[in-house]
Structure 1
């Protein structure tokens, strides 16, 4: 993978940042996309080296998706890998049918589903040319089981799962398209809102409820992303890999608090 080039959307924090660190350790030159987290993205670029660059783009806008790919090509002359990690949600109890408006669905769908499609479309010509093109979409167990932070979020990730399979079929054999579907991931988002003690308690509660006795962190998701990008996995496409410490094995999954993507 050395000297390959990867674009990671939402790459400055959380899962995206963990992906960048793992890829940079393999010698991959990373384009760290951010919408607003400029300081975090630039700090990460300085940390990982390997010629990484931070590029601002709101990938909801198709023109900015093309501009992001053009920036990657201007910096490195190629694009081999794309990680569609950027996403958003709105927290709303699934049983509260009045908690979401049509605009909530549209807003979430635009970033979680349409933006990955736009990024794949923009990057596809460059990835075809490189010979090792691979995409990993960061979906969620919410999109597989209809759970998570809201119905709108689950629906958007479910669509991303379906799109992964559709595009894996039509972009083969030049470009592989896979997805990871995390469950709970203990990112800084939780720690910032709960504080250190609250975050530790949440992780302990999650770990106690999973077969692997584990509350996954960003690197636990970044590792399978790295694996699915690796040309050594050339026989894998159209796969949706659950990354939830085995929580999906529990038939009571949808009734347990904290099992959210």
Structure 2
């Protein structure tokens, strides 16, 4: 009898995380839907996972917690094991930023900086540390949801850029440290058409940034949450010879803008 695989996706109530758990459930994965504050949206995502996953036998588990808290990270992993007895994939998607602008340094205080790094970088480290022995036992994988900000130094704020740079470096470290049993990769999206950006800079500001991005990007498009989820699923299910990869998902923007078009803000 086939044993279903189990995925824990942090920050999966909305956006990329929600698209990822929904796609996994449709493929028969048991999924943990995790949220920090967005309970209403997370419950809606859980219902969507149950709907698309019913025929495939997928099960769901809804959990709340702050990934900046190591105790909460360990509890997320333990609750997953208590429910299904295994863990096959960890997706570190939980993240936050401050839309202060990369050059608006005075708007960033120490508390804000530490909080962003605590969620985006320390949170991923704590989740990997808690999950590592169980992923090694299953021959599983980790996918970190990073950003082009961490590779290019362009993004919504200095602490966000720093946190994603740290996440990229940790991806390389853990790819070595957990090999050969566990593959560790990262996806690095640029602009994504989710509420993350529109909530941060307003609908009108987002429309302007999106239009500029699409005018400049070599592929003339920004990514949708489902585009990123598709790449995450490939790294989980199909990339058997891939580890330590930082996969750029930005419509080619990391190559530079198309000829004669100014490069807009990214990350």
Give the CA deviation at 1:205: 3.2
Runs of at least 4 residues of structure 1 off by over 6 A?
Answer: none
Question: Which of residues 183, 187, 200 in structure 2 aligns to 1:176?
Answer: 183
Does 1:219 find its partner at 2:226? Answer: yes
Does 1:62 find its partner at 2:70? Answer: yes
Structural mapping, 1:165-204, within 5 Å? 165-191=172-198, 194-195=202-203, 202-204=209-211
TM-score using structure 1 length: 0.91
Q: Whole-Å Cα distance in 2 between the matches of residues 82 and 201 of structure 1?
A: 35
Aligned counterpart, 1:256: 263
Question: Which of residues 224, 229, 240 in structure 2 aligns to 1:234?
Answer: 240
Q: Whole-Å Cα distance in 2 between the matches of residues 199 and 238 of structure 1?
A: 32
1:147-198 C-alpha deviation (Å, 9 max, x unpaired) = 1001111011001000000011010011111000110001023455644x77
Aligned counterpart, 2:159: 152
CA separation of 1:188 and 1:2: change in aligned 2, threshold 3 A: farther
RMSD: 2.1
Give the CA deviation at 1:110: 0.6
Q: Whole-Å Cα distance in 1 between the matches of residues 206 and 114 of structure 2?
A: 31
**Equivalent pair of 1:2/1:28 in contact (CA under 8 Å):** no
TM-score using structure 2 length: 0.89
CA separation of 1:219 and 1:33: change in aligned 2, threshold 3 A: same
Q: Whole-Å Cα distance in 1 between the matches of residues 69 and 205 of structure 2?
A: 37
Gaps of 5+ in 1: none
The count of aligned residue pairs is: 256
**Equivalent pair of 1:84/1:136 in contact (CA under 8 Å):** yes
Aligned counterpart, 2:22: 21
Question: Which of residues 74, 79, 82 in structure 2 aligns to 1:71?
Answer: 79
Q: Whole-Å Cα distance in 2 between the matches of residues 72 and 61 of structure 1?
A: 17
1:188-221 C-alpha deviation (Å, 9 max, x unpaired) = 23455644x7755553332222111112111111
CA separation of 1:202 and 1:98: change in aligned 2, threshold 3 A: closer
